[in-house]
């Protein structure tokens, strides 16, 4: 019997020293490779279905990806009034791209550094992207995300950073320079969303990001989702904008936008959207 033992990081690039680990029983390894940028494995698990892990960290599973991708995308896009141009940094599995394209936006630009992640997820986990890579409103760019935001003259209503933990190729996506470049690329009142780990185990990841975002944006904080395969309970998604009204859009407005779109979601609801900004005390302390 084979198992995949997940490497848990503390948000500062080191392994957790909590005497805790998580492992998945592997029914079948579908693909494994050391790409130019990272170690990649896709395997099957009885409960989670197909699982993608990069550098020893589970990124997504077929069974619970909606809890991550829907909250990563729909919270900012329903909060905004008629967003048109969206930027996704990372997200090679295609789940965030799929969800963004469900909104009536003009374009969704996705910048991914590792084309092998895209190719292999399209082949072995096609339900995640659902054909999004071939959508006429999708603009896929294979490039370094930090270089793209530093050099582009395009402006976006929302920037969604669907990154790995701050190790390997994802490390540069947690720097103050990157966040400053993202702000430059936002339209007035636009919003930046980041992956900020599981605060119960990775408190330093959230704290460090908030310390870097707070000087740049009038409203920097986080909201929460729960993804069963991301061990440790609540997962924090960073939230940064100069429009302080965005986090408190009226429930009636969210419901109307949700109904107008006719969205069939597995996790997201307007009520969950509102509740996601209510933080447990221990996370409030970490994010302040």
Residue 97 half-sphere exposure, CB side, CA atoms within 13 Å? 31
Does the annotation mark 162 as catalytic? yes
Handedness of CA 67, 59, 21, 12 (dihedral sign): negative
Helix 65-79 / helix 251-261 crossing angle, nearest 10 deg: 110
C-alpha–C-alpha distance, residues 8 and 201, integer Å: 8
Scored b (16 or more CB within 10 A) or e, 71-102 reads bbbbbbbbbbeebebbbbbbbbbbbbbbbbbb
- The catalytic position among 55, 93, 162, 165 is 162
C-alpha–C-alpha distance, residues 183 and 185, integer Å: 5
Spell out the long-range contacts of 38-42 with Cβ–Cβ below 8 A and sequence spacing 24 or more: 38/114, 38/164, 38/168, 38/169, 40/116, 40/117, 40/120, 41/4, 42/120, 42/121, 42/124, 42/125
Q: How many Å is the maximal CA-CA distance in the chain?
A: 54
C-alpha–C-alpha distance, residues 215 and 205, integer Å: 17
C-alpha–C-alpha distance, residues 236 and 61, integer Å: 18
C-alpha–C-alpha distance, residues 71 and 273, integer Å: 8
Helix 203-213 / helix 176-185 crossing angle, nearest 10 deg: 50
Positions marked active-site: 162
């Amino acid at each position: 019997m084979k198992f995949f033992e997940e490497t848990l990081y503390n948000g500062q690039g080191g392994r957790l020293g909590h005497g805790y680990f998580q492992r998945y029983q592997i029914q079948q390894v579908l693909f494994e490779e050391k790409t130019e940028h990272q170690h990649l494995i896709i395997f099957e698990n009885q409960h989670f279905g197909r699982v993608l892990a990069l550098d020893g960290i589970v990124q997504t599973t077929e069974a619970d990806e909606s809890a991550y991708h829907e909250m990563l995308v729909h919270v900012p896009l329903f909060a905004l009034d008629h967003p048109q141009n969206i930027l996704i940094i990372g997200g090679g599995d295609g789940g965030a791209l799929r969800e963004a394209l469900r909104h009536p936006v003009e374009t969704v630009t996705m910048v991914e550094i590792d084309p092998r992640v895209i190719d292999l997820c399209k082949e072995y986990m096609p339900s995640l992207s659902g054909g999004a890579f071939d959508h006429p409103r999708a603009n896929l760019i294979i490039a370094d995300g930090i270089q793209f935001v530093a050099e582009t003259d395009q402006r976006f209503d929302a920037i969604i950073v669907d990154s790995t933990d701050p190790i390997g190729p994802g490390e540069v996506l947690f720097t103050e320079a990157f966040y400053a470049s993202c702000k430059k690329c936002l339209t007035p009142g636009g919003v930046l969303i980041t992956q900020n780990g599981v605060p119960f185990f990775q408190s330093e990841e959230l704290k460090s990001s908030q310390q870097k975002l707070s000087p740049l944006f009038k409203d920097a904080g986080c909201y929460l989702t729960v993804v069963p395969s991301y061990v440790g309970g609540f997962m924090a998604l960073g939230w940064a904008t100069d429009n302080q009204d965005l986090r408190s859009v009226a429930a009636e407005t969210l419901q109307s936008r949700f109904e107008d779109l006719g969205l069939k979601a597995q996790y997201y609801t307007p009520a969950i959207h509102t509740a996601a900004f209510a933080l447990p005390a221990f996370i409030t302390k970490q994010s302040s």
